[in-house]
Amino acid sequence: MSADPKSIRILAVDDHPLVRQGISGLLAVQSDMSLVAEASNGRDAGARAYLLKNLLHKELLETIRAVHAGKKTLSPEASYQLAEHLTEDALTPAEISVLRLIAAGNANKQIADQLGITEETVKGRVKNILSKLGANDRTHAAVIGIRRGIIEV
CATH number, domain at 12? 3.40.50.2300
Q: Does 128 reside within a domain? A: yes
> What does the buried/exposed string (b/e) look like for 56-92 if buried means 16 or more CB atoms within 10 Å of the residue's CB?
beebbbebbeebeeeeeeebebbebbeebeeeeeebe
Look at residue 2 and tell me whether its pLDDT is greater than 60: no
Q: Does 127 reside within a domain? A: yes
Nearest 10 degrees: CA dihedral of 142, 148, 149, 151? -20
| CATH number of the domain enclosing 134 | 1.10.10.10
One-letter amino acid at 35 equals L
Do 58 and 13 sit in the same domain of this protein?
A: yes
**CA dist., res. 119 & res. 125, Å (int):** 10
User: In the listed set 46, 75, 104, which residue is the last one of a domain according to the structure?
Assistant: 75
Q: What local confidence, expressed as pLDDT, does residue 110 receive?
A: 97
pTM (2 d.p.): 0.48
- Average pLDDT of the chain is 85
pLDDT classification of 4: cutoffs 50, 70, 90: low
Q: Does 24 reside within a domain? A: yes
Do 67 and 124 sit in the same domain of this protein?
A: no
3-state class of 71 per DSSP?
A: coil
Do 47 and 94 sit in the same domain of this protein?
A: no
What total of structural domains would you count in the chain?
Answer: 2
Do 59 and 103 sit in the same domain of this protein?
A: no
Q: Does 3 reside within a domain? A: no
Domain range for 130: 87-147
User: In the listed set 75, 102, 122, which residue is the last one of a domain according to the structure?
Assistant: 75
Query: Which of 84, 83, 82 lies closest to 95, judged by CA?
Result: 84
pLDDT, tens digit, 9 for 90 and up, residues 40-57: 876 657 667 777 777 777
**Where does the chain have alpha helices with state H?**
17-28, 56-68, 76-86, 93-103, 108-115, 119-133, 138-147
Do 68 and 102 sit in the same domain of this protein?
A: no
Q: Does 153 reside within a domain? A: no
